[in-house]
Each structure stands twice: as C-alpha cells, then as structure tokens.
Chain A
Amino acid sequence: MSKILIIAEHDGKTLNPSTAKCVACAAAIDSAEIDVAVFAANAAELAAEAAAIASVNRVLTVERAENEQSLSAILAPQIVALASDYSHVFGPSTTFGRDLMPRVAALLGVNQVSDIMSVAGSHSFKRPVYAGNAVVTVEAPADVKLVATVRVASWQAPAGGNSAGIESAAIDVELPGHTRFVELAAGDTGRPDLQTATRVVAAGRAIGSEENFDLVYKLADVLGAGVGASRAAVDAGYCPNDMQVGQTGKIIAPDLYIAVGISGAIQHLTGIKDAGTIVAINKDEEAPIFEVADIGLVGDLFAVLPELTEAL
C-alpha cells in the first residue's frame, strides 16, 4: 500500500487549489492512503479546508512562527522529519512546490519525479519533457521514498464535503537562519487567478504597449476571465511577470483560452495545450498558434478586441 504525504500550498489565509489537484493525483494510485501536511504559523482554518477534500485520510498541522512564510530551507527539514512514515511525498508543480520538493528529495537522498501528468502505477508516471514536445513514462525505484511534483493543469480538483481528522504534529528539528523573507510584491488585480480561471484572455507582443493592454483587460472583464501574456509581452514590460504563460511561466488549463496577437512559440504552447477550447486572433495567418487553435480568426487585434468586447 502507498502512504502518500501531500505538502499543502497556501498563502497563510487560504489553501491554494494546487493542493486539491495533488490529492487527485495521489488518489489515482491504487489503494493509496493520503495525508495532507499544513505548515503554517496558524493552521486551523487551512487544515479545515484540507480536511474537506475528498480522499484525504488525515490532515497534519505543523504550527511554528518560522512557517509564516513558505521558505524551502525552513520547510524541507520539517518535511523530512514528517516523511519517515510515508512511501511518497507529493507537492504541486507551482513555483512553491518546484522550489521546495527537490530540496526535500535531496535531503532524502532520492531523485524526484517532476510534473506528473498521469499515473501508470505506484512508481510509474508520465511527465512532459522538451517543453511538452515529448511525454516520457518513468519508473522510480520502489525501494526508496518517492518524491514528486504534480502538474496541476493535468488534474481535476476532487469534490469537497469530506471531514478527515486533523492532528497537530510536533516536529523538533533545528531550522536554519540563513534564508530570510523580505517582501512579496503581488499584483492584486481583482480578476480570477490564472491557474484556476475557467476562462483566460492572453496577449502577446503585438499588443504594443502597457496602455493597449487595457483592451485585453476590458475583454477579460466582460468574460469574467483571468489575464495572461506571452513571454515576449512580459519581457517588453507590457504586464507583470506573474501573467506569463508557458514553459517557464504558468501552465494553465482553462475551458476557454483566447490568444490575442500571440504567435505561438512552442514554449508558449506548452502552457496552454490542456485548455478546453483555444481561440486565436492574429493578423498573421501563418502564425503557429493557428495550428493548435480550435477557432482561428485572422484579423487586426485593435479592431477585433473592441468589437468582440462589445458583442459579448
């Protein structure tokens, strides 16, 4: 039987939906017993959220003042102490989990399976490589602990309504002081979060300026959509880095993705290939984005965007 420990991601107030996606992945392993660990300064509300996720057996809370910020150097030794009873340790393949889980794996002396897309067995998984241009089936050794990150866009969040038991775990390990949180500059846009939005509108360099990005925001607001961007648009300074979609940005899976003035470099396409419907609007009919689009419209975005916003 697999005993799986999932490291919850949160901002101190609410659980990130990535946690439930990790549970979905763990639940795809036959006869898995799934516990969720919440490391926080105050874990009660977060633990209650985790306990409601279907398939969760138990929630473990580790409350320490040092856990107020999610610093990997602080969390990793605590996770290792908690991991002794488990065969698997999973975290999300968000920047939180990508930063944290390899540090845990190395302390445990094992390699890590990154970005699980699907489960083929308790130690066998599929994962994307080469910006999603190939999918490799991997087999991890069964005689050591398995540490992995879960590609959140590949999984549907399980139902709520569970009421798993909540226990506090006392972990007495020394924590390093060599890494200190200074600040987080987060843009609160009031729009749906990119990684969980059911609709996303995104623009590329062709949008031309930060001011012109308003056209994208207007369409997004009519649709109740999150807003994304290509790397080129972020590099050009038209929008913040947290809007970047692609191999090195966010991997998303909305029901509807509208790409405006995005040519469709492979590094971008890997971030959207799980979208339900891809709409491409681009004035270059040869743009590679049209090869993956479900609906393509060749046209000037400066004419199309206002007209589409008006029509919806």
Chain B
Amino acid sequence: MDTIIVGLKRVVDYNVRVQVKSDGTGVETDGVKMSINPFDEVALEEALRIKESGQAKEVIAVSIGDSAAQQQLRTGLAMGADRAILVAADGETDPLTVARVFKALADKEGAGLVLLGKQAIDGDNNQIPQMLAALWDRPQATFASQIVIEGDTAKVIREVDAGLETIEVDLPAVISADLRLNEPRYVKLPDIMKAKKKPLDEINLADLGVDAAPAIKEVSYAPPEERKKGIAVDDVPALVAALKDKGLV
C-alpha cells in the first residue's frame, strides 16, 4: 500500500486530574498540559513500523482543531510521519463530522489503511474509527493489540471482553489501536529539528466538501458523585470483622 493516514487528537494529558469548571460549561483546560491522545500515539507508532518494514510508502498525520493542534502534529512529524494536515475547526468537532473528514481524506489521498486510536481520553466516545469504516464501506478492526499486514489483507488480534479475537480484513481498512499494540518511541532532539522542515498543510471542512453532522448538545458538566470516606483497619482479623459487619462475607 502507498499511504497510511493516522489521526492525532490534542487532549488533556492523561496524568492531569481534570476539574469541572464551576459554571458547569466544561472542564478546566487553561494552563493544563496538553498531549497527543495516548491511543493515537500508539496508532502512529504502528503506522511508522508498517512503513519501516517496507509495507507502506508514506504516513500522513491528521488533526482536527484550532492552530494549537499544530504542536501535536509537529510531535507526530518528529516521531516520523512524512507530512501533516491540520483541518481547521473551532472547539470540539463531533465524531460523525470527524469521520466524514477522514473519509474525505482517505479518498483524496488514496489511503490503504487508516489507523486511529480506539478512543480519545477526553470524550471517551470510542466511535470515530467504526463510523469512518461505515462511511467508507470498508472493514473495521477495532481494539487491535497486534496487526500483521499480508499483501492485500491484514490479520488483526482484537482485545475483546471474552479474550483475544483474530479477524482478517481486506485492505483498505480502518484499524483502531489499543494500548498493548506497541510502545511508542521517544522523540529525539534532531528529529524535532527535522520535523520543522516537513510539510504541515492547513485546510478547512469546506475544502473537503464536508458538512457538519447533527450534533449532540452538551448541556452541562458536573463532577462525579464522591464516595463516602472509608475506614482504616490495622490487620486481617479487623478486616474480616469489618466485612462481616457489612454482611459481605
């Protein structure tokens, strides 16, 4: 295959303990560390390994968002992506519209594979890869923990509730990455310098002929219900007594 497209979403770093804004309009993002969605980083790493094994010629990193997402695309270029595309959008774009963007790009670039993270750790929707596969009328292999490209097909091991499922899909296809697929590489300083010279194009939804989908409105945010403060016990007999007291053993 020639081209692999990878999506990189800019999200609140996974180590940040997010706080709901006091007016309930969202979560606090001012001054908060932002990173590439961890699942997307795994997807990019996998795309790079496929390219390095000689089974693809080019890896394109795509992000949808405001100009701040250039930072995540530059990191993706430093990891090894050949070029990047920023699709300009203000605020959060709904999953179906994002899937339409990837569909338009997959057609335009003639992608043989679109590799995405299985979910973004902010919205936790877990929708875009499956939606893209539907719109593109191509196979989906979600929650991948191993990908083997064999000519025009891919054999994918999927992490499912019952264990590990293996499926075979014809290419082009959409694959969504789970965390155990690989360990993403660290970016080295010379690569960051090189990445500055790689192409990063900016386009907008209209350039791709994409209409926004009917969105689901976010009415208000609230913190989750807190659990009541617990008790500390000193030893196993006290633990057993506490469990008996609650009628649990």
Contact = CB atoms under 8 A, between A and B. Distances in A.
Nearest to A266: B17
A252 B231 CA distance: 22
Contact of A103 (B130, B165, B216): B130
A71 B235 CA distance: 50
Nearest to A120: B219
Given A110-B96, A231-B179, A256 B162 contact: no
Contact of B126 (A98, A137, A294, A308): A98
B231 A114 contact: no
A279 B239 contact: yes
Nearest to A71: B167
Interface in A145-186: 176, 178-186
Nearest to A93: B126
A103 B136 CA distance: 11
Contacts of B227: 273, 278, 292, 294
Contacts of A231: 179
Given A73-B140, A134-B222, A279-B243, A297 B214 contact: no
B102 to A, nearest CB: 11
Interface residues of A, number: 88
Interface stretch (A55-63, A207-215, A240-248): A240-248
B166 interface: yes
B82 interface: no
B22 interface: no
B90 interface: no
A294 B95 CA distance: 38
B163 A114 contact: no
Contacts of B197: none
A297 B133 contact: no
Given A115-B124, A132-B224, A277-B248, A95 B237 contact: no
Interface residues of B, number: 83
B217 A138 contact: yes
Nearest to B232: A296
Contacts of A199: 248
A124 B217 CA distance: 9
Given A130-B122, A277-B248, A267 B14 contact: yes
Interface of A: 11, 71-73, 76, 94-96, 98-107, 109-115, 124, 128-141, 143-144, 176, 178-187, 195, 199, 223, 231, 234-235, 240-242, 247-248, 250, 255-256, 266-267, 273, 276-279, 290, 292-299, 304, 307-308, 311-312
Nearest first, the 8 closest Cβ-Cβ pairs linking A and B are A106-B131, A102-B130, A106-B134, A186-B163, A102-B127, A182-B166, A294-B230, A178-B170
